[in-house]
Each structure stands twice: as C-alpha cells, then as structure tokens.
C-alpha cells in the first residue's frame, strides 16, 4: 500500500463526494443546499488541485485539467453566492440558488471525470 496513493485518492474522491452532496437535491430548493458544504467542496477541491500539481505524465496533465475546471466552477458558484448575499444584499431566491447549484453541477462533472481517471489508472496498473 502506498500512502501517497491513499492521500491522492482520498482527496479526489472527497472532492467529488462533497461536490455531489452539495449538488444533490431539487435545484430550486434553498434549504437543500447548505453553504457549509459548498465551502468544504471548494476547500477540498483546492487541496486536490495542489495534489495534482507536478505530475508530468499525460494522465497527470488530464487530472490537472479536470481539477482546474472543477475549481473554476466551484469558485464561480461561491462568488455568485457571495455577491448576491453580501454585495447585492438580496435574500436568497430560487433563481440564484439554481445558478449556484448548476455551476456546482458542472464542477461535479469534472470531478466525476477525475474519479474516472483515477479508477482507470488504478485498474491499468493493478498489481
């Protein structure tokens, strides 16, 4: 067992699961999407992104690309929320929430690709 692989896999999967946890639920229902979960998803996705740095193989580059895409989408979602709540000072509306959740849905897709890559890599190198 390789500790690096454990940590790497853990963060990739955790990034995906947190993302999924925030995303799941009716897209317009405000009470089904907790800001804490979005925060955790952003934080873990950033850590996963840093973990993907520095791998110069082809699959490493693809990993990095999916990580960048996921972080971009999640940060956009967080930014929309922050803007709406603090700058525009609006009460949360179903329309805003659906924007945020759909952005996180895009990030979820990128995270799923990342997990698929992880699984594919694991299966290929099964020893």
Partner 1 sequence: MGDVLFLVLRRLRVPLITLLVVYAVSVAGLVAIPGVDGDGRPWRMGYFHALYVMSYTATTIGFGEIPYPFTDAQRLWVTVAIYLSVIGWAYTLGSVFALSQDPTFRAAASRSLFLRRVARLREPYCVICGYGRSGTEIARALDDLRVRLVIVESDPTRVASIAVQPFSVAPLVLVADARRPEVLRDAGIAKAECRAVLAMTGDDEANQTIAIGTRVLDPNTQVIARVVDPVMHANLAEFGGVHVINPFHTFALNVGLDFAAPAVLQLEEWLTCAPGADRPEPLRLPRGHWVLAGYGRFGRPLAAALGASGQSWQAFDPHFVPPDEAEDRVHARGGTEDGLRAAGIERAVGVIAGTDSDTVNLAVVKMARRANPAAAVIVRRNKAYNQALIEAAEPTLTFVQSDLMLHEVLQSLTTPLLERFLELARRDGGVLAREACDRLDAAFGARVPGVWTFDCDPAQPGIRQALSEGGTPLRVGELLLDPRDPAVRLAAVPLMLSRAAPSGRPTDTGRPQRWLPPGSRARAVEAPGAGVLDRAGTGLPESGRGASIALPPESTVLAPGDRVLFAGAPGVEALQRRFLLDPSPIEFVRTGVEPARGWLFRRLAARARPRT
- Nearest one of 24, 29, 18 to 92, comparing CA atoms: 29
Asked if 8 is part of the footprint of partner 1 (rule: CB under 8 A), the reply reads no
Each residue 16-45 as x (binds partner 1 by CB under 8 A) or -, in order, gives -------------------xx--xx--xx-
Asked if 118 is part of the footprint of partner 1 (rule: CB under 8 A), the reply reads no
Element containing residue 121 per DSSP (H, E): helix 94-124
Query: Shortest distance, CB of residue 91 to partner 1, whole angstroms?
Result: 13
Give the Cβ contact number of residue 124 at 10 Å. 8
- Nearest one of 106, 90, 96, 86 to 33, comparing CA atoms: 96
Site of interaction with partner 1 (CB under 8 A): 35-36, 39-40, 43-44, 46-47, 50-51, 53-54, 56, 78, 82, 85-86
């Amino acid at each position: 067992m390789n500790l690096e692989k454990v940590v790497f896999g853990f963060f990739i999967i955790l990034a995906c699961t947190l993302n999924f946890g925030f995303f799941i639920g009716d897209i317009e229902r405000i009470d089904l999407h907790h800001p804490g979960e979005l925060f955790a998803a952003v934080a873990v996705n950033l850590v996963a992104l840093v973990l993907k740095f520095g791998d110069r193989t082809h699959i490493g580059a693809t990993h990095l690309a999916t990580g960048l895409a996921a972080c971009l989408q999640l940060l956009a979602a967080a930014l929309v929320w922050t803007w709406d709540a603090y700058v525009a000072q609006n009460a949360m509306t179903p329309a805003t929430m659906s924007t945020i959740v759909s952005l996180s849905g895009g990030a979820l897709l990128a995270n799923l690709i990342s997990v698929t890559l992880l699984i594919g890599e694991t299966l290929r190198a099964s020893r």
